[in-house]
Amino acid sequence: MKFKTLFSILFLFTLFSCQAQTSKNIKTIEAPAFAKEIKTNKKPQILDVRTPAEFAEGHIENAVNVDWQGENFVKNAEKFDKNKAVYVYCRSGKRSLKASEKLEALGFKKIYNLDGGFLKWSAEAKTAK
């Protein structure tokens, strides 16, 4: 009987903790889906949230560098249309997820986060050739 109670408590805890982390406005998607989304949107808003040095080493075409670690992230992000989809990426996906959460808090409605970041994007591009 104790096992069933413990199992029920753990199940409910897991269920509620997962729901708390789910966002209706942020979708983390793989590189091929990210590329498809960008191509299907007229003038997509692509945010590279890496440092300027990382951005200079290479970036997705038409991306705008808005450094997540910079002191002007919010100010620069506010320049984008909150009602249009925004495509966010970083090096590996960690900073972009945090930046996506901040964008959501700022009122952005549709946010696509690149799973695996620019590293995975670059790897996918090389294998596609």
- Per the domain annotation, does 97 fall within a domain? yes
pLDDT value at residue 21: 45
| Catalytic residue, candidates 35, 90, 103, 111 | 90
Residue 35 φ/ψ, nearest 5 degrees:
-60, -40
Nearest-angstrom CA–CA distance, 47 and 90: 9
Active site residue 90: yes
Residue 8 placed within a domain: no
Answer yes or no: is pLDDT of 9 > 60: no
Number of domains present in the structure of the chain: 1
Residues 42-58: pLDDT tens digits? 999 999 999 999 999 99
Report yes or no on 1 lying in a domain.
no
- The model's pTM: 0.81
Which CATH number belongs to the domain containing residue 102 in this structure? 3.40.250.10
- Show the domain range for 60: 24-128
* DSSP type of residue 23: -
Residue 62 resides in a domain: yes
